[in-house]
Structures are given as C-alpha cells and as structure tokens.
Structure 1
C-alpha cells in the first residue's frame, strides 16, 4: 500500500471515530465535535484524465492548517451528480489509525462512507455530493496508479514511498 502526500486545504469536524472507545482514551472523539477532523485536499503530483488533480479526504487526529499531510489510502467514494467524481478516502500516518486499513471493512470504526460524504458537504458547500457507491483499499490503489503520470513509477514519485505494510 503506497504512502501518499495530500495537500490539505481545509479541515472540518466529522462523525467518524472509533466504535468502542474508553471515555478517557487518547482516541476518544474530541469534545467540540461528534468525531475526528477530516482534511480536504489534493494528492500531490497526480492528474486525472480530465486534467484535475486527484482529490482526497484525510482522517486526522488533530485539525491541520493548510499543509502537506502524509497518509494511507483506504478507499474510494464514488459521487454522482452533475459532475461525477471519485474521491480518495485516506487516514493520516498516525498511530490511532494503524488498524483502519480499508473503508469497506472497518468494524472497529464508525467510518461509513456516508460519514465521509457528510464531512465533504461541509468542506465543499454548494456542490451537491450524492454517494453512488464506494470501493476499498485495492480500488483506491488502482485509482491512485491511474492518477500518476504514466512515465512515473509509483515508488518514484515525490511524496510517495514504495509499497509497504503499515502494520
């Protein structure tokens, strides 16, 4: 699974968090929101067929000012509407997210695709976002490979590390 860099432009609260968390845990949801922060941005050095960069949402333990965040892709959100779009769902490269490796299979997390789309509606108001489906980590990796320049191998891109395990 490739490690990527996401240029985060904005951060919002979300309803995403652990399903079972002790009250005084480091991983408990922040008091000021229902869940953990989600950053919105673009995956560094990517370009889709239509010329746009690959866009991503990143689950983080703390809100981020606009900055580069190292992350792991865990899934894809397929959005329908006037301009259908695929959004990469990622988790920040942080200890609390070591067990969140696939958007489709995340039993210990309240990380349903609908919760990611609700965060997207807040960070990108005025743009209709209708969830048409979602894919897991393998689909995320395939989308990422398509968004990289054809002459650039995945491990050779600035901001991407060679495929490795997070465990």
Structure 2
C-alpha cells in the first residue's frame, strides 16, 4: 500500500481531521488544544501532501484515491470516528460518509465545497463551470504560471480578489 500520512495524539473517542487542498495534517494542530480532554486526535494528509503518496494519475483524479486514505485512517482508529473536514477535505469527508465504507460517529464540515459530487446532482451548469476552471487551472500549472491559484481565488471570490490579497499570502 502506498504511504499514508497518519498522526495521532491523545486518547479516547477518535476525531479524524481531514485537511483541505494545499495543506497537511499540520493545519489541524492548533485544534488539539481546543479538543475536550478524553478525545484522540487523528490527522492525515490527502494525496500528494505531507507523507501521503500521490496515487492519482493525470487522467485519474477520482475520489477513490482520497477515500482510500480516509478509510485507512478510520480503520486504524479501530472504532467509529468523528469525521471533521475543511474545504476539499470536507468534500472528501462527506464522500466517505456517503460511501458508507467506514463507521462515522459524527460528521462536521467547514467551508466544504462538494463540487466533485455535483455531477450526480441537478446543478450541472455549475459542475461544467468548475470542470472548465479545473482544466484552465491545470493548463496554467503545466505552463508554469506562478499565479495559477489566482484563477481559483477569483472564481470563488470574484474577479480581482486575488489581486487584493496581501503579498505574503499571494506569493
């Protein structure tokens, strides 16, 4: 099995934290101090981040790659997990709960964007727009354009949003 980032701290019922894109399990470290005593914090990273191997191919970006990571971490926990996801990690957490392949004690999503699940819904126009954005973003990254992320930020925040970000954040 390819390597999967997995960290654990504390003891008690497991809380599995799933980070968003461009992030690792380390994004959740500050949450440790806010967890009530008696909970076990489990962190992982999605495909290609932290110590988690990149298993997706150029033509195979399916959710199954991310679900494999969540399923592995949840099974390693050994009991139902409180699943917490942020941004794309929230989408992955939702997909894991919907797949019913792990035991979920609760589900908490923050700024989740379940775009990957839109093709199954009636919001086909939004799905098509996001798919086109994804293609443009990939082409921009492949071309080595340093501000490729601006497309994503401007799509969701409105034209010009990226340009208003502090330089320390946009670099």
Q: TM-score, normalised by structure 2?
A: 0.29
- Structure ID, larger Rg: 2
Structure with higher RCO (Cα < 8 A, 6+ apart): 1
Q: Which structure shows the bigger proportion of residues in helix conformation?
A: 2
Q: TM-score, normalised by structure 1?
A: 0.29
